[in-house]
Every structure is written in structure tokens, then in C-alpha cells.
Structure 1
């Protein structure tokens, strides 16, 4: 087809014209060297060579024009113009906004944000380093809301039996806490009121710790079974912390408790773990109804300011929503 050879013809036009121009000066120089007669022939031949070049260019242009008028030629022009426009837009974007686009397109990757360190139970010597009950800690309490007040606590009426505790937990499902965990928190408050008189520990503080440590025993797709144990054992990655309240093995040995009266002490049983946590928080005759006493207790559980702030916020939220 004629349009198949069109690009080759167009490409040959400059070469033919250059060849004609190159041939004319050479012929003129030979004529000068040989004789005036030869010079005259060269002068006469130069316009002819130029004319032949012009005619060749004209034929090429006419052929190109005829090709462009054909459907295939118009399609080729459209494709070429579109490609040139796209290339031009990309080039303009590169020079105008060189930093646009994702980082990987420039051979660089964004620096990932540092992950938050896992929240773990206090180290083995935390009891010695924890603030004394009723005294200010070495650093100021976290957040303005810890100054002069304790987390909002929800009153818990001692139930007549298990059924009353179950009904109480069922009435607080809007908090987003698993009902089985709520039963453990409520039971631990009642047990602590007898075992640790004057501590004034509220179930909301225990729930705040449980939420911060393992989201009430549901971390990693887990859940608490009817007997209080988690579906699979929860073991922390930092210090092999155990269970829904994340006790260190050595700390559990010091504070283990039988919260459900089954004759066993199991850190993976939320009843036992929450009761042990209550005893731990209330040691040294702490009064958790005071800001200093509450802060000292939670800070000794995990001596990190951000940890205390998280527990406070969640405990305060549970207290407010459960009494609204």
C-alpha cells in the first residue's frame, strides 16, 4: 500500500535535497578548475539540479497530502498528535511539579512512623520504685484531668447472687465490654471491698486496665469463654506477660488469686487475673478514691505516663457512660 512507503519517502526528502546541493558546488568547482566552458556547463547544470530537488520535494509533499486525506492517514495523524500531546503534558508536569506523585515513583520511600511500644506490666522491682500511697509521684500526673480528681466510678450494689451480677453486666452491654469480662470486673470490686477495706477500688479502673492491656481479653481475635478462660492463652511479646491482665510470671507468683472459687489460680482465667490485679493495686493500704492514691496504684502496675493516661481515659469513659 502507498501509505506503507510514505514514511520512507518523507524521510528520504532531506537526503535527496542535500545530495543535490552537494553535487552542485562540486560540479561548479570542477568547472572552475577545468575551463570557462566547463564552468558554464556547471552553472547551467546547477539550476537543473536544484529544480530536480524541488520537484522531488514537491512529489513527496503531494504524496503526503494524498495520504493524509485517506482514512488511514487521518487515523495516523490523530494517534501521532495524541501521543505528542501526552508526552508534552508529562514533560511539563515533570518540570513544573517535579515532586508530585507517590514517593516510590522517585526512588524514595517514606520513613515509617515508629510503632508504639507494647504496654507491659511493671518490671519485677516496680514495687520498690512505685510512689508511696498518698504521696505525689516524681512526675506530675498525666493530663489536666488527673489533677484534683479521680476517674468517674459507677456504684456497684452488692448482688444477692450470681443472677444479679449477670443482670448488672447485661445492662451495660452498650459500653462495648464483653459481658463475661464485665462480670469479672464487678465480682473483683465486690471481693476487693471485703479483702481490701478502705481501698475503694472501682470496677471501672479494672476495666480500664483490661481494655488497655488486651482489650478485655479479645486481642488477636481471642475471646473469653464461659468459664472465664481465654480461647487461646495470651502471651506478651516483651516479657512473656500472661493472660488478659498481662502479669509477668514472677509478679503472678506473688499476687496470684482464685477469683471464681474453683480451687485454681490461673492467669489466663479473667476472674483470677482481675482479682489478683485488684489485690496488687490495693496493696500498702492505698485509697483509690483519691487522685494521688489512684495514680500511684496504676503507675505501679505499669510505670509509664502514657499508660496511666490511657487507663484513666477509659475508666472515666466507662464510669460516665454507665451512670448516664
Structure 2
């Protein structure tokens, strides 16, 4: 393919240099150059990593990627359905099933997270850079790749060091993790980011529909707006933390936004340049899962097995990473975790990573997982968040957002890529409450025996002066101010069958804190009666109801008795 681009494509470092130069105008105001830290991650240069990218390990574990640049222009006219596809058409187009997966993922995100403004073209750009659009669209009718697409094992030898987290379930490697599938998710990320994009009941990283939807949610997991350049940069860098990666994806994004076309499945070309070519290894995407992944020789030569780790006593071993030194986790001053339903938890979880000697460990990925029967999430709507410890060895989880389900749950903290005893934090969501109730009208509530009250009872609930919405309440017609038992006579409500009831439960205030009770009726008993309304939190209001006979009409002047007749003359 390189020859057909007129010499624009090169392998290894040369290709990434071309990519950076080609998008200089695009990236002048974007993230600066990056460097590699002690754990194999790349961090921002001129600005801090927290400003450039989110503090997590990336979807791919910073695995290698394709560095080819897009064609100078799309074929014109685009090939029509049923016609043969030329080499240039294949390079510019997107296989039909793969393109459909990207567009369906975009549509799903418009409903799930409309503020993210995720374009399908971004998924296409990442999909091309990660796997060459699922190896040129080599997928079956359900969107599953015909052969597994695996990145190299992340053994620290030219790549990040990520030891096995799935016992080989996804990548077939029980020693180290490998990126899997069309969007190249590492198993530890797929475990929480995986989605079922084709509604078959499975979350398969080798299925392009599942992988595309998972990538969409991954890119939108924070409150980012991808229509802004700064958030777009952060999202792309969070996927694979490399400035060259950012530049290459942006170039493909720009290309696809200008227009592309659909090509038949299996007819796409596979990019040639890879970011790891100068390291002498690139993944063999066609090989089946194995504990001994194979690699291409530089330039795409024959497959050779990965060399076995040296075992002689005098041979240098791979350097120990910060993650390897972690012995245990400690709480770093987390306050009591409690919030009212629907509210954001005021306190965040802070956890410190320490060595066996009690020294703090920086640059370690800690994974925070919400466990239990709860609809509480982290900010952004996810149940898992991965954060890198700072210079003091502390990782602070994103804020917890309480759902409507009350009760206790747990946030479990673990070390990503290590089997270290986790740390559990207890958290509680309490029900919404009110501390005051007041009628919204001062109109007296009166009724004649056997009639119905003309005006409904409506009250407003507040808590510390603010509207108390979605607060549970009950209403009971009580015997007296001192006797809260249910009255057996006087005013009543009606149930669905028209029968008299004098206690209502399961009431909830609306978004404005208002509670409007059903119509009230009266039996033949006259007098003054009491309706008591109570909310969660203890707010109580007693309302008077009067049942009295209608007043007798006053006699008119014309019907009054006549006076004695006047004497006649």
C-alpha cells in the first residue's frame, strides 16, 4: 500500500514523523510531545498529565498501532454497490459491516450521552489506526472477526508491562495481557468497558458491534464534549497515550469527516506501517489465541516465536515497575461516604499504595469498582474508574453519583495488573427527606354530608428552605391531634374500586416539591376532622376538614308575616 501513496508512507519512526509533520497545523494548539514514565506510560510534556489525559491505563494498554496516513482524496465518484473495488477504493473506503457498527454506536450514544457529541468518524479513525478496520472488514455476518486480532504481549519488552488479568480468557495468554479485537481493548479494560452492541446477549471484544459501542462509551466515560478540540484530544489520548497516535487519529478523523464510502466486507486493505516496527515486532492478527503469541519480523517477514525470557543467573532481568513494588493499599483519609438519593457524594475515596516497608508508590493504576445492588455510579455514568497514584502514592476516585436506589453498597479498590488484597469502602445512599410542609392555598376545606370537597389538598415540601423533590410521603385521616390512629368515620379517599380508604401510602413529591392529594369525599358525619401528612425526614402537617350541613336559606322580605290590618273608618 505504501507504493500507492506515492512514497508518503514509511515504516517505524519515519512514518510517525511524517504523520506529525502532516498534521502540524492541526496539532499546533493540541497536546504537546510526550515522554515515557517509569511504568511505560507516556505523559504530557509542557502541560501536566492530568491536563492532557485522564489518569488511567488507556483502552489498549498503549499497544502499538498503524501509522499510515489517509489518501490525499477519496475516489471520485465513489464506487457503487455491486461494482468491483480497486486498490485505491479499498484504501479509502470502510467495509460495510464495520461502517454500520460505527454508525450504530454513534446513534446509541446520542441517546445515552448526548452531551458527548461523539461522531462515528472518530470511531472509524480509531478503528483504522488500531486494526485497519478489522483487517479490511474480515468479519462474519454478525460482525465477529474471522480470525482473532491480537496485539503483542505487554511484557515490558518495548511495551508497557501488564501482567495477565483474565487468565487468558480473551487473549489466550495467561502470563501477560494483549490487546484484543477490532478496537484493541486489553482484557482488564474490556472487563468493565465491554458492551453488547448487536443485542446477542454477549460482550465479545472480537465483535465489531460490541467493540465499537464499548469504544464509544469509553471515549465518553467522562463529562467530555468531543465537539471541542481540548476534550477530543483528551479522549483520544485516553485511548492510547501517545502524541503520534493523537496526530494520526486526528488526520484520519479529518479525512472521514470530508467524506468516505462503503466497500464490501473483506475487500479493505491492511495498513503497512506500525508504531512498533523499529522495535522489531508487530502483532500477528491472524494467529489463534495462544500462551505464546507470535510476532512478525520487521517488514512483515515470516512468523517466528517470541524468544523465551533469559534464565541464566547473570542475565539482566526486566526492570521492576512501580506496580511490582506495591504490597498493600491503605485508606488516605476518606470520610464517611453517604449521600441522599439523586445527589453527588460530598466526599471522594482516597487510597494510598504502599510497599511492604510502608513507602508510598507513585504511578500505579488503582481500579475503583462499585459492588452491590445499587444504581450509584461514578461521575460520567460508569461503575468502574481507574486512577493513577500521584507523587504521594494517592489515587482519588471520581465523585460518586447516587441513584434513586437507597441502601448500602461497596466500592472496592484493587491494583490493576496485580493480585494484591483489595480495599473496601462502605457507602450508603439514604432516602430523600423534607423538614417542612405547607399548604399552597389558604382556602378553607369544607363539604356537606355525603358530598365531596371542592378543593384538593396540595402541599409543598422543603428541606432547609430548598425544594424537596421525590420525597416519600403518606396521608392519614386521624382521630385527633393526640391520636394518630386512622379515623373510621368522616372524610375519606377512594381506591381504584371506589371503596373508602382513609390512609394513603407511596406518595411522592414532584420535581417542584409539590404533593397533590386525590379528591376527598364525606360520609354523613358532620364535624371537624384532621388529615395528617407526613414525609420521609419527619416533616408533618395537619390539615383541618369541615363537614357541615348547608345553611338554611334566610326568608325573603316578601314572605314575612303581615302586620295587623288597619282599622277601617
Classify the TM-score, shorter chain: 0.3 to 0.5
Higher helix proportion: 1
- TM-score by length of structure 1 reads 0.47
Query: Which protein has greater RCO, CA pairs closer than 8 Å, 6+ apart?
Result: 1
